[in-house]
Amino acid sequence: MKLNELDLFPYPFHDDVYRYSNNSVLMDKPSSVEITPNYLEEINLKRKLLGSSPARCFQSLPYAKKAQWEVLEIVAQQLADSYPDKFSLDKKGKNWVFCNTLLNENHSFIIGDDSTLPHEPLDFIGRHVQEDLILMMQRDGDLYLDAGQLCFPANWSLAFNLGMKFKEIHNPIPGFKEEKLDDRILGFLLRVEAGNPWQRKNWSLMAGNRMDTSLETYDQWGKDRKKVTRENAGEFVYLRVEVQKILRMPRTNGILFTIHTYLLSLDEFCQNRKWLEQFYSILSELPEYIAEYKGLSMYKDQVLQYLKDKMKRGD
Amino acid sequence: MYKENTIPVVVKTIQIETPFVKRFTLTAENGYILPGFSGGSHITAYIEGSEGLLERAYSLTSYGDNNESYEISIHLSETSRGSSSYWHRHMKIGDKLRISYPKNYFQLSYRAKHHVFYAAGIGITPFLSMMAELCERGASFELHYAAKSREFCAFYHLLRSKFPRQCHFYFSCEKAPKKLTYESLQHHPIGTHVYFCGPESFISSFKDAAIALGYPYSSVHYERFTARSSKSAAPFLIELLNGETIPVSKEQTLLEALLEKGMKVPYSCRAGRCGTCELKVLKGEIDHYDEFLSDEQRNSNSVILSCVSRAKSEKLLLEYG
């Protein structure tokens, strides 16, 4: 994804020091998804990936079907409400018609009847939004990843995580368990209420501008990390920010987790002097265990040198 | 403070269920369909009473996918000067109010092999949607329901016709009085989950009996509706480890007072929910307003969410600074 306008980039930091935390905030205007100027480009890429690697990009467990329909309903309704010039949702009893004018597509289906859709409900609506969609079902006081469409993962695998509990999924994050962040964030998620969705931002660095950095294809993109130099970092290294939204689904009491991925090259990012300076502070102080987990240990020094050069030049 | 988004609704019908219970149907003011909900859900209703805004939780007693209306059932409390009295004496068809989105803190267990509901009086309300959901799933359940008499037993006829095989009634003031006791708790098969709802004394005695009989904690569920106090905030002082004392005025939060002094307290939601701004308290009594800490943490009086909670005592000594 390339953005010419820095204005659209969701700047992820609000302090000169970064640590893992629950940095969620209540959303001023509740929403599950957002349309950006890269819509067509990203939807095409998504659909290409879903066609070529379906098992990597969509997974579901049979008992999550009712909740999948609720995801479709929430997302389709919000698209129609937030972007009435681009989408519409016409409901006549159980007969619904969803129109997407950006793609010039009309879909008629019977709500709750799987046979009337070309794909499973979550997979279907996911093909109309830039976000990855993850469905967590709440059962006996825990959250389980029971369905998801994931085309743009930041080095994780949906097929591997399917059916896992929240804490099992987050087990690899260093310090997460030791600092009881897993308990705290699970407790927070269990208390998220319908009508009051939350948002958080997560960040990492990427060598290259690939959106689909799945664990399964690490062999293809992971080696680019070795190619970063002080000279090429500006155009080769990207700041990757995920805007994550957390919504309670009232009918099935599940959690819908949407992830919108943004990439911005360091050259573009550094056009904002304040961002450059703050990011330099963060990166130079960043503990090794976080750098390692975010996959930037291998080229952190090169990026720091690049940022330092930028600050000296004052441009 | 956490201010939730609400839905404007209109009172569509009012029906008399028993001499003390009225049923109210609510529809969306704009005519839209209301959000669906799962068995055991409730809403918070906000009404303007004579003594200010009243905020009360009521179980949703209807159930179904097509939610053109919600139904709640309210018992007139004899001592009530507030909410239930307002609903019974002043609420009219066509009156407008705001309600929260459906919330569920009394969800059905997924691993239960058999579900048993114990209700006393108006405690029946959450079980109506839970039983309807189990019926839809084809799951196994039963109800034990205590009331004074048939006349005072809300939903008696509905329950008898909808779930004839699953309902057991206990009427304490009829000619042949029958009392609901712990006896039946001894006869449920392994894998049973029990759910209790009713007056505080009923819940705690049945819960204790179930635990004493050897039910695992995770198989015992109950719902209490406690109204959160929203009394006006008072000023207090905080003392830091470095000896500095900082006043917190009644208009500001503890977090705001610390940030104003340039202290870098981590925070995020400012609504008492994410847990980021938690601080350790060494001395002083805490007035908790958060939705994050467990009861155990709350009672320990040793941690505070600085974005919403305050001091009960004049001063709090924080392990900070």
Nearest chain A residue (CA) to B268: A23
Asked if the model's pLDDT at residue B52 lies above 80, the reply is no
Residue B272: give its domain's CATH number. Answer: 3.10.20.30
User: Of B168, B195, B222, which marks where a domain is finished?
Assistant: B222
Identify whether residues B144 and B210 lie together within a single domain. Answer: yes
Best of A21, A182, A193 to mutate (most B CBs within 10 Å, chain B): A193
Are residues B174 and B261 located together in one domain of the fold? no
Q: Report the chain B residue with the minimal C-alpha distance to residue A19.
A: B266
pLDDT in tens, A31-74: 999 999 999 999 999 999 999 999 999 999 999 999 999 999 99
Chain B interface with A: residues with Cβ < 8 Å? 2, 4-7, 35-38, 41, 65, 100-104, 107, 109-111, 218, 264, 266, 268-271, 273-276, 291-292, 294
Span A275-303, mean pLDDT?
96
pLDDT in tens, B110-142: 999 999 999 999 999 999 999 999 999 999 999
**Active site includes A19?**
no
Mean pLDDT of chain A: 95
Q: Which of A85-89, A162-166, B87-91, B264-268 has the lowest mean pLDDT?
A: B264-268
pLDDT band at A99 (very low <50, low <70, confident <90, very high): very high
ipTM score here? 0.91
Average pLDDT estimate for B268-296 = 88
Mean pLDDT of A82-91: 97
Same domain, B128 and B55: no
For residue B229, name the pLDDT band (cuts at 50, 70, 90).
very low
- B-chain CB neighbours of A96 within 8 Å are none
Q: How confident is the model at residue B232 (pLDDT cuts 50, 70, 90)?
A: low
Q: Where are the domains of chain A?
A: 3-313
- Chain-centroid distance of CA A162 in Å reads 17
Last residue within a domain, chosen from B100, B126, B146: B100
CB contact under 8 A, A191 and B107: no
Q: Residue B150 — pLDDT band, cuts 50, 70, 90?
A: very high
Examine residue B105 and state whether it is found in any structural domain, yes or no.
no
Q: Look at residue B67 in the predicted model and tell me its pLDDT.
A: 80
For the segment A199-216, the average pLDDT, to the nearest whole number, is 96
Q: What is the pLDDT of residue B270?
A: 83
pLDDT tens digits, one per residue of B239-271: 999 999 999 999 899 999 999 998 888 888 888
pLDDT digits (tens, 9 = 90+) for A102-148: 999 999 999 999 999 999 999 999 999 999 999 999 999 999 999 99
- Joined together, the tokens standing for residue A260 give 């919108």
Of B200, B214, B238, B235, the closest CA to residue B316 belongs to B238
The whole model's pTM is what? 0.90
Rounded to the nearest angstrom, the minimum Cα separation between B171 and chain A is 33
CB < 8 Å to A194, chain B = 35, 101-103
The residue behind tokens 């265990």 is: A289
Give B82's pLDDT tier (boundaries 50, 70, 90).
Answer: confident
pLDDT at A5: 65
Q: Which residues contact B216 (CB under 8 A, 6 or more apart)?
A: none
Q: Which of A26, A138, A251 sits opposite B269 (nearest CB)?
A: A26
What is the band of B2 on the pLDDT scale with cuts at 50, 70, 90?
Answer: low
Q: Judge whether A295 and A225 are in contact, CB under 8 Å.
A: yes
Nearest CA to A173 out of A295, A280, A263, A59 is that of: A295
Pick among B1, B3, B5, B6 to test the A interface (most A CBs inside 10 A): B5
Give A-chain residues touching B130 at CB under 8 angstroms. Answer: none
How many domains is chain B built from? 3
Min Cα separation A19/chain B (Å): 10
Q: Give the domain extent around B21.
A: 6-100
Which pLDDT value is given to residue B290? 87
pLDDT at B266: 82
Give the best residue of B268, B290, B291 to mutate against chain A (max A CB count within 10 A).
B268
Please state at what angle helix A300-313 crosses helix A273-285, rounded to 10 degrees. Answer: 140
3-state secondary structure of B8: strand
Q: Given an 8 Å threshold on Cβ–Cβ distance, is A25 in contact with B35?
A: no
How many beta carbons lie within 10 A of that of residue A259, not counting itself? Answer: 19
Predicted confidence (pLDDT) at residue B228 exceeds the cutoff of 70: no
Does residue B92 belong to any structural domain of this protein?
yes
Exposed/middle/buried for residue A191 (C-beta within 10 Å: 0-12, 13-18, 19+): middle
- Give the nearest partner residue to A253 out of B104, B218, B291, using CB atoms: B104
Same-domain check for residues B121 and B205: yes
Give per-residue pLDDT as tens, B295-304.
888 889 999 9
| Set A47, A200, A225, A230: catalytic member | A200
Evaluate if residue A283 carries a pLDDT over 80.
yes
> Closest Cα of chain B to A21: distance in Å?
7
- Last residue in a domain, options B195, B222, B249: B222
First CA to last CA across chain B, in angstroms?
A: 25
**Is residue B230 very low, low, confident or very high in pLDDT (cuts 50, 70, 90)?**
very low
Give the pLDDT confidence score for residue A195 in this predicted structure: 94
Q: Which two tokens stand for residue A104?
A: 């010039």
Banded model confidence at residue A3, pLDDT cuts 50, 70, 90: very low
Beta strands B70-75 and B236-239 are: unpaired
Instruction: Look at residue B81 and tell me if it is in a domain.
Output: yes
Q: What is the mean pLDDT of residues A179-207?
A: 93
- The pLDDT of residue B80: 63
How far is it, in rounded angstroms, from Cα B275 to Cα B256?
16
Nearest CA in chain A to B292: A188
- Between A281-285, B221-225, B229-233, the lowest mean confidence (pLDDT) is in B229-233
Phi-psi region of A220 (alpha: psi -120 to 50; beta: other; left: phi over 0): alpha
- From CA B238, how far away is CA B254, in angstroms rounded? 8
pLDDT in tens, A244-279: 999 999 999 999 999 999 999 999 999 999 999 999
Rounded to the nearest 10°, the torsion over CA B311, B313, B314, B319 is -60
**Above 50 in pLDDT, residue A299?**
yes
Amino acid B200: pLDDT = 84
Q: What's residue B118's pLDDT?
A: 98
Nearest residue in chain A measured CA to CA from B273 = A188
The reply to whether B229 falls in a domain is no
* C-alpha atoms less than 13 angstroms from C-alpha of B119 in its C-beta half-sphere: 25
